[in-house]
Amino acid sequence: MSEQERTFVMVKPDGVQRGLIGDVISRFEDRGLKLVAAKFKQIDRDLAEEHYGEHEDKPFFDGLVDFITSGPVMAMVWEGQDAVRQVRGMMGETDPAESAPGTIRGDLGLDLGRNVIHGSDHEDPGSNEREIELFFDDEELVDWERVDETWLYE
């Protein structure tokens, strides 16, 4: 059996402006993941640079920081078995043109630079914990039990 874990998800400014927060939340809830924290937030430049720090030496870094600070985002923490991997699969490929129908980016994204959503990288162990700590204090994470959890997992 897989273990319960938490992962960071952010609806980016393009998704917020297009009114997609509810759709994104519904998809994760429908999947059986549990929302344990959420925050509607305007990211400042310092947080954006720290969040995307692994891309600092890449030519697209400044544009990425400019974009993520251009409007509010919806930052969230989701919990479930293999949550990082599950969320990444539901998101689709970074480039919406390469994302399968049924994924968030495949259904809602149109452009590589405006791909609606960010989620912790399942190929970078610990990125979920690092990103959660950047956006949320421990007391903002709510431990609770869904009434249907016994129907979701063995």
Question: Is 51 part of the annotated catalytic residue set?
Answer: no
- The reply to whether 12 sits in an annotated binding site is yes
94 annotated to bind ligand: yes
Rounded distance, CA 110 to CA 92, Å? 12
CB of 68 within 8 A of CB of 43?
yes
Q: Name the active-site residue from 51, 55, 118, 122.
A: 118
Residue 67's closest CA among 45, 89, 46, 88? 45
Tokens of 150: 């016994």
Q: Is 103 annotated as a binding residue?
A: no
Q: Is 58 annotated as a binding residue?
A: no
| Residue 60 annotated in ligand binding | yes
Residue 115 among known ligand-binding residues: yes
Q: Helices 21-31 & 83-91, crossing angle to 10 degrees?
A: 130
Please enumerate, by residue number, every residue annotated as part of a binding site for ATP.
Answer: 12, 60, 88, 94, 105, 115
Please identify every residue annotated as catalytic: 118
Please enumerate, by residue number, every residue annotated as part of a binding site.
Answer: 12, 60, 88, 94, 105, 115
